[in-house]
Amino acid sequence: MFSNHDIELIAEILVNSKYLVAFTGAGVSTESGLPDYRGPEGVWTLRDKGLKPKLPRKPISEIEPNSGHYAFVDLYELGILKYLISQNVDNLHLKSGIPLEIIAELHGNHALTKCLDCDARFTKQEIGWDDLIHGKGYRTEKPRSDQPKCPHCKSRIISSIVNFNDPMPEKEIIESDNQSRKCDVMLVVGSSLSVYPAAELPVIAKRSGAILIIINKGPTQLDNLADVRIEAKSGEFLPKVVEQIRQLKNS
């Protein structure tokens, strides 16, 4: 369990940072009712044991952001958070109010499609995509003539989700690498840091001179590299950090 000292320490580091970049994993969304992947009840943990993974209680489109997601919005609005890198495909960061221009979603977003040629992003509503009619639109699926085309260049539209064996999105990878080298503090939240190449980004940040903070329930692959390691749920810990930062700014 975290302490008041932990809250004060993280708040002080963040409020004094010049360029904070956050990196989030599935653990940020567990408090919204979504499973993580490598936790005790995670999707891959249960699968590896031959057990059936637990499913969300309602469709992913109906899942709402939790207090952890909104804490990142608060950090952005306070002028502290400069960029957010996420492994999550659940759309909850964007739904919470994080601007599209300051986030890289390394594994895509279930609510967004993209053009294979010009890389433009569209919501399914914007281009009239209906999964029941047009399918999921995954890269590996055979394209269908009835699927909507890119409004800009008329090329093929696919789901932005990155499935196994799909190439990582080049634009997001390059920008995430640049942001990791640029930051003076990287705040990792809710990730076991076991999926590469994404998990290499905190290493790049650390080697570039950044302070590395890891907040997670359960061990991560990079605990030995962290300058500060906090065992906590994001929805319980981060709002208290934001509250402490407000006090520091008003004092």
Instruction: Give the tokens for residue 34.
Output: 């979504």
Q: How many CB atoms lie within 10 A of CB 121?
A: 14
C-alpha distances out from residue 16 to 185, 227, 247, Å: 10, 15, 14
13: helix, strand or coil: helix
Q: Active site includes 107?
A: yes
Confidence of residue 38 (pLDDT cuts 50, 70, 90): low
Q: Which element (helix H / strand E) includes 135?
A: none
pLDDT per residue over 184-213, tens digit each? 999 999 999 998 999 999 999 999 999 999
CA-atom Rg of the chain in angstroms: 19
In the β-sheet with 103-105, what is the strand arrangement from edge to edge?
A: 103-105, 81-86, 20-24, 185-189, 211-216, 228-231
Instruction: Give the tokens for residue 169.
Output: 């999105």
Instruction: Give the tokens for residue 137.
Output: 């639109």
pLDDT per residue over 162-188, tens digit each? 998 899 999 999 999 999 999 999 999
Domain boundaries, the chain: 4-109+168-250, 111-160
The whole-number pLDDT of residue 56 equals 67
Active-site entry in 107, 110, 134, 152: 107
The whole-number pLDDT of residue 6 equals 98
Output helix, strand, coil percentages for the chain, rounded to the nearest 5: 40, 15, 45
DSSP for residue 86: E
Burial class (CB in 10 A: 0-12, 13-18, 19+), 228: middle
What's the average model confidence in pLDDT over 65-83?
98
pLDDT per residue over 96-148, tens digit each? 999 999 999 999 999 999 999 999 999 999 999 999 999 999 999 999 999 99
Average pLDDT over the chain reads: 92
CATH of range 4-109+168-250; options 3.30.300.30, 3.30.950.10, 3.40.50.1980, 3.40.50.1220: 3.40.50.1220
The whole-number pLDDT of residue 43 equals 52
